[in-house]
Structure 1
Amino acid sequence: MTTGVRRGQWQTAADVLARVSRQPGITRAAVARELRLSTGSATEITARLRDVHLLTEAPAPSQGRGRPTTVLRAHPQGPVALALDLRQGSWRSAVVSLDGSFLDQQSKRHRSRRPQVVLGNLQRVVKDTQQQYGERLQVVGLAAPGTIRDNRLMQAPTLDWAELDLETITDLPLLAGNDATLSGVAEARTGAAAGAGTALHLIVEVGIGGTLLIDGVPAQGASGAGGEYGHVPFGDRSRPCPCGARGCWDLEIDGRALARHLKEPAPKDPYGYTEAVLQRTDRAAARAVARVVAALAAGIAGLVNAHDPDVVTLGGLAIPLRAAAESTFEQAYLAGLMNFHRASPPPVLPAAHQPDGPLRGAAALALDYLTAEPFIAGWADRP
């Protein structure tokens, strides 16, 4: 192995691994170009990473004449991460290799939404993965539907959870984040917002959440709770929200709002209720959907005025809601913009990573950990 190698000597290797994790299928020649490495340096660095079981190489498809190159892939004995996506009604998991490949994916619905039961199920997923992969499993990334601070779920109004220690699910390093924020990270890395300097990502499921990303990095706020757009008071100030505030935007753009407009009982499953209403063809349903879409578009315009993004990406139920009343969306969006935005409004695009944006975002957090210089140096120094 390479015991005694100084950590600073792994910095370029970390840059190489970061490219591999964010650009699956990248060739050694492409990495050399992007990092401005000589052919010899690229060959030497990839050899070192191969020696410590981080990368392997395979012949790249022939491009005609010229020196052959190789595709860089995760080593079959290298470290892996576990990505978890906790949702209101279910959870998903995937083992993630250094080249971003998803392995051993699972998805199950909650039999009980009591936090002890749900977190216990996630704990079993982690333990089962540890039994399968042994010491190769090095980190867990988790996306969760609520406000997260220092791996604690501070508040999840849609689940009626508060003040939960998420680190109970594993003794491995845990990197937890809000599901909408991590979905935005996925879009900024490899999705519809890739390359944008400033991007706004919003996702509608039960309520709405999102994140503002600057050069691919989410604006987390002073305590890590940034992006709670669903609790901006864009709604009726007389209406209380489960979060404790009044007039939250959350209450205007999901199944709860649709039920109010249709004068039907509040749904136990707002997500499923929204899907059902979108399948209806009666006029009452169409009017209810139009009102919700108008509230969604007007709020997006307000956030565009506040943040001035290059692009807005939408995930979750925001995509079919908009599609069901496209003209209503466009009218409300343009009407809510300041004059100088209207000539060239930021495009509002569907998210590319549907429906697994939060899972891919959790994987991105974990891969950032595995491709950082301190981890690489520690992995290389193993006995």
Structure 2
Amino acid sequence: MTPVRRGQWQTAADVLTQVARRPGITRAEVARTLRLSTGSATEVTARLRDVQLLTEAPAPSQGRGRPTTVLQAHPEGPVVLALDLRQSSWRSAVVALDGSLQDPQYKRHRSRRAQAVLNTLRRAVEQTREQYGDRLQLVSLAVPGSVRDNHLMQAPTLEWIELDLAQVTADVDVPLLAGNDATLSGVAEARTGAAAGAGTAVHLIVEVGIGGTLLIDGVPAQGASGAGGEYGHIPFGDRSRPCPCGARGCWDLEIDGRALARHLKQPTPDDPVAYAEEVLQRTDRAARSAITRVVTALGHGIAGLVNAHDPDVVTVGGLAIPLRAAAEDTFQEAYESGLMTFHRGSPPPVLAATHQLDGPLRGAAALALDQLTSEPAIAAWVAQR
């Protein structure tokens, strides 16, 4: 095995970062991006192959010309288990260094009690450790709530509060990286989705309430304690209306299935997402009026965030996409009328998210791979070989 010396870890980390963020990249493309000589790129990738971090495979044929290869994760290299916890279900995938999602799983909760759900996730982690052994280096968990230092501080849609998420990995001695699902969706969009290449982007996702994040060069601005991006709890709504989070007048209460039900004078639905999808299929006057009010609240709120953050682009996912499509003119008028005058001549585009349901999972994987492709992580992996 060829050793990777300390002075070479930075270049090795840079190469692995390119492989993680640009699936299917070639050695020549890595060399051009990192301004490496052909010889240096060959040497570094050979060393990474020796320590089971990278391999090369033939690129898809493109007709005549010299055949080339693409850089891929080594089949015996480190992996991440990405988990995405939702209100009624959870998803998982094993992620290799090239960002590929393997062995995807989808399961509904048998119970929504916090401890029952966390026990289920812990068993999934244990099973993955049994299958992959010490190749499993990190577990990355997306949750629909505010997270601080791997503690869930508050998840209003789940009615959970103050939970230590580290118990999910406690039995296998694998580090946990936990984050808000909307924030992680934004990471996915900024890295490989609709906001890729944007210096400053705002990402929003509507499911039960609305969450999101501000991204600078693909990195989420998470605030002093890691709980930034709780856009749904900005008081863009009716200040007389209490929110489950403890505040009043939250935007959350104006833009989802709960708001539609309120406008239609119906009880709060058990499943606000499914309820919203049903209302969006209706063509009666009452349903159209309710949709118009929700879409107006959505457009006005996005304008407020544009005024605050001045992004290059806004990406939206979840119910925001069909809601906007159901009343496009209403959305555009609300969005543009809420902008400061100097933004109106060239307002930031509001684009549909690329990854949709995969967003939180891919974002969780992306931040985990940032850690696995760091110099200390490479050094630790080499020490294990």
Instruction: Give the TM-score normalised by structure 1.
Output: 0.97
Structure 1 counterpart of 2:227, which letter?
A
Displacement of 1:60 = 2.9
Displacement of 1:140 = 0.6
Map of 1:213 onto structure 2: 215
Structure 2 counterpart of 1:132, which letter?
Q
Map of 2:306 onto structure 1: 304
Count of aligned residue pairs for this structure pair: 382
Deviates more, 1:307-316 or 1:368-377: 368-377
Map of 2:278 onto structure 1: 276
Displacement of 1:155 = 0.5
CA distances 1:311-358 after superposition (whole Å, capped 9, x unpaired)? 000011100110111111001001101111111000000000111100
Q: Is contact 1:32–1:39 with CA below 8 Å preserved after alignment?
A: yes
**Partners of 2:6 and 2:120 in 1: how far apart?**
37
Structure 1 counterpart of 2:203, which letter?
H
Map of 1:179 onto structure 2: 181
Secondary structure of 1:352's counterpart equals: coil
Q: How does 1:28-39 map to 2 (within 5 A)?
A: 28-39=27-38
Secondary structure of 2:162's counterpart equals: strand
Structure 1 counterpart of 2:108, which letter?
R
Q: How does 1:37-52 map to 2 (within 5 A)?
A: 37-52=36-51
Instruction: Give the TM-score normalised by structure 2.
Output: 0.97
Q: Is contact 1:2–1:381 with CA below 8 Å preserved after alignment?
A: no
Once superposed, what is the RMSD of the aligned Cα atoms? 1.2
Matched, 1:231 2:233: yes
**Partners of 1:102 and 1:8 in 2: how far apart?**
31
Q: How does 1:139-158 map to 2 (within 5 A)?
A: 139-158=138-157
Q: How does 1:1-383 map to 2 (within 5 A)?
A: 1-2=1-2, 5-61=4-60, 68-170=67-169, 171-383=173-385
**Partners of 1:64 and 1:264 in 2: how far apart?**
61
CA distances 1:28-66 after superposition (whole Å, capped 9, x unpaired)? 110010001111111111100000011111233456777
CA distances 1:242-297 after superposition (whole Å, capped 9, x unpaired)? 00000000000011110110001111111111111111121111110110000000
Q: Is contact 1:29–1:69 with CA below 8 Å preserved after alignment?
A: no
Deviates more, 1:270-279 or 1:232-241: 270-279
**Partners of 2:148 and 2:7 in 1: how far apart?**
31
Displacement of 1:203 = 0.4
**Partners of 1:131 and 1:279 in 2: how far apart?**
45
**Partners of 1:237 and 1:192 in 2: how far apart?**
34
**Partners of 1:14 and 1:137 in 2: how far apart?**
19
Structure 1 counterpart of 2:245, which letter?
C
**Partners of 1:68 and 1:47 in 2: how far apart?**
19
**Partners of 1:61 and 1:289 in 2: how far apart?**
46
**Partners of 1:204 and 1:66 in 2: how far apart?**
47
**Partners of 1:8 and 1:138 in 2: how far apart?**
23
CA distances 1:77-130 after superposition (whole Å, capped 9, x unpaired)? 111110000011110000001111111000011111100000001001101111
Q: Is contact 1:58–1:70 with CA below 8 Å preserved after alignment?
A: yes
Displacement of 1:370 = 1.2
Displacement of 1:185 = 0.4
**Partners of 1:56 and 1:271 in 2: how far apart?**
43
Q: Is contact 1:29–1:70 with CA below 8 Å preserved after alignment?
A: no
Structure 2 regions of 5+ residues with no counterpart?
none
Displacement of 1:70 = 1.9
**Partners of 1:297 and 1:65 in 2: how far apart?**
50
Structure 1 regions of 5+ residues with no counterpart?
none
Displacement of 1:10 = 1.2
Q: Is contact 1:182–1:357 with CA below 8 Å preserved after alignment?
A: yes
